[in-house]
Amino acid sequence: MTKFQGSPVDLYTRINRLRLDRLPTDNRVWIILVRATFSFRNLGRSVWAFVLPVMLISPVTTVGQVLDDIDFSFSIETRAHVRDSEGNDFPINFPTNAALKTVDPGTNLEISTVTLRSDIDYKDLLRLRLRVQLIDLYDRNSTSDDSKIDVDEYSLRIGTEVPAGETPVNDARNIYLKLGKFGKFERQRDRHLESYGLVSTAFNRFEDLGLEIGFDISPHVYVKGSLTSGNPLFIRDPNALAGDNGTSDFLRKRDPKLNNGVVILYDAEVENLQFDHEFAEIGLGLGVRFVNPEATRYLDFLLFAYERDLKREAKLFGTLYGGDLDVLDAPGPNTFQDGEVVLNGLTGDYKREYGASLWIYLDDFAVFGQFVQQDVGGLDREGWEVEVSRKYFMPETLSIRGVPILISITPVIRYSIIDPDFTGPGDFPAPSTFWEWEKVDIGVKFGIMRGLDVTVEYAFNEFVRSGRDEENNEWLTTLRWRYGF
Burial of 315-335, coded b for 16+ CB within 10 Å and e otherwise, reads bbbbbbbbbbbbbbbbeeebe
Of the candidates 450, 444, 438, 439, the one whose C-alpha atom is nearest the C-alpha of residue 389 is 444
How is 88-115 classified by DSSP, letter by letter? -EEE-SSSTT-EEE-SS-EEEEEEEEEE
The Cα 139–Cα 17 span in angstroms is 22
Q: What are phi and psi of 328, to 5 degrees?
A: -95, -5
479 within some domain = no
User: Which structural domain range is residue 38 located in?
Assistant: 8-391
Residue 458 lies in a domain: no
Is residue 403 in some structural domain? no
Beta carbons within 8 Å of 48's beta carbon, 6+ residues apart? none
CATH number of the domain that residue 349 is part of:
2.40.160
CA 164 to CA 172: how far, in whole Å? 16
CA 296, CA 291: separation in Å to the nearest integer?
8
Is residue 57 in a domain? yes
Q: Residue 485 domain-assigned?
A: no
Q: Please, are residues 412 and 378 in contact by the beta-carbon 8 Å criterion?
A: no
3-class DSSP state of 30: helix
User: Residue 266 in contact with residue 234, Cβ under 8 Å?
Assistant: yes
Its pTM stands at 0.86
Residue 192 within any structural domain of the chain: yes
Spatial neighbors of 58 by CB under 8 A, at least 6 apart, are: 123, 125
* Residue type for position 69: D
Output the tens digit of pLDDT for each of the chain's 485 residues: 444 455 444 544 454 454 444 444 444 444 544 454 444 444 444 444 444 544 554 555 455 666 678 899 999 999 999 999 999 999 988 766 789 999 999 999 999 999 999 999 988 889 999 999 999 999 999 999 999 999 999 999 999 998 877 777 666 788 999 999 999 999 998 999 999 999 999 999 999 999 999 999 998 999 999 999 999 999 999 999 999 998 877 666 667 789 999 999 999 999 877 787 889 999 999 999 999 988 889 999 999 999 999 999 999 988 988 999 998 875 444 444 444 334 577 888 999 999 999 999 999 999 999 999 999 999 999 999 999 999 999 987 677 777 778 999 999 999 999 999 998 877 788 899 999 999 999 999 999 988 999 999 999 999 999 889 999 999 999 999 999 99
Q: Collect all residues with Cβ–Cβ distance below 8 Å to 56 and sequence separation of at least 6.
A: none
Residue 26: partners with Cβ closer than 8 Å, 6 or more residues away: none
Q: Are 238 and 461 in contact (CB under 8 A)?
A: yes
Residue 339's pLDDT is what? 40
Is residue 342 a part of any domain in this protein? yes
Tell me which H or E stretch contains 50: helix 25-57
The total domain count for the chain is 1
User: What region does 432 belong to: left with phi over 0, alpha with psi -120 to 50, or beta?
Assistant: alpha
Q: Residues 481, 188, 289, CA angle at the centre, nearest 5°?
A: 125
Q: What is the pLDDT of residue 39?
A: 47
**pLDDT (0 to 100) of residue 351:** 97
Residue 397, in any domain of the structure: no
Residue 169 pLDDT: 67
CB atoms within 10 A of CB 289: 21
